[in-house]
């Protein structure tokens, strides 16, 4: 999608600190981290929200979770623990309408929102 910020990051049009990339997903550091580790994982394909995932696109979730495991290991938070979150639509706290997974860690997460 032309004007989508996460599409632009995925295409490499905006310099971001990419953490991991496969042919289907890209992961990069959140611009406003709320924890010492705060990485976003997005599909390269523009999918607006979790609810827009069609049956035939569900595989992308597995790829995103797999990336979350790799990132957690690489960042050294796998053992201590971390959180994986997908915000959905306004009441779910979604601000960017390109499907993304947050990986938070590196501190004790106490509240429900990370
Ligand atoms: P949401 O609230 O939609 O689940 O999360 C959107 C996240 O994207 C927020 O944590 C926000 O800090 C992050 N974000 C927004 N714009 C940018 C950007 O241009 N670059 C990066 N790296 N992160 C962004
Ligand atoms: Zn997009």
CA of 28 to the centre of ligand 2 (A): 14
For the chain, give percent helix, strand, coil, nearest 5: 30, 20, 50
Q: pTM of the prediction?
A: 0.96
Residue 16 banded pLDDT, cuts 50, 70, 90: confident
Query: Distance (Å, rounded) from C-alpha 60 to C-alpha 44?
Result: 10
* Complete domains list, the chain, with CATH: 5-105 (3.30.428.10)
The predicted structure's pLDDT at residue 112: 65
Ligand 1 pocket, residue 94 CB under 6 Å: yes
Residue 91 banded pLDDT, cuts 50, 70, 90: very high
Ligand 1 pocket, residue 95 CB under 6 Å: yes
CA of 59 to the centre of ligand 1 (A): 23
Q: Phi, psi (5° rounding) for residue 25?
A: -135, 160
Q: Which atom of ligand 1 is nearest to the CA of 85?
A: 4
Ligand nearest to the CA of 101: 1
């Amino acid at each position: 999608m032309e004007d989508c910020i996460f599409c632009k990051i995925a295409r490499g049009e905006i310099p971001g600190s990419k953490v991991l990339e496969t042919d289907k997903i890209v992961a990069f550091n959140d611009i406003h981290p709320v924890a010492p580790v705060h990485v976003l994982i997005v599909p390269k394909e523009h999918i607006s929200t979790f609810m827009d995932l069609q049956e035939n696109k569900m595989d992308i979730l597995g790829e995103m979770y797999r990336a979350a495991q790799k990132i957690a290991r690489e960042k050294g938070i796998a053992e201590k623990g971390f959180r994986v979150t997908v915000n959905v639509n306004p009441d779910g706290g979604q601000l960017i309408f390109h499907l993304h997974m947050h990986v938070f860690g590196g501190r004790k997460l106490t509240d429900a929102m990370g």
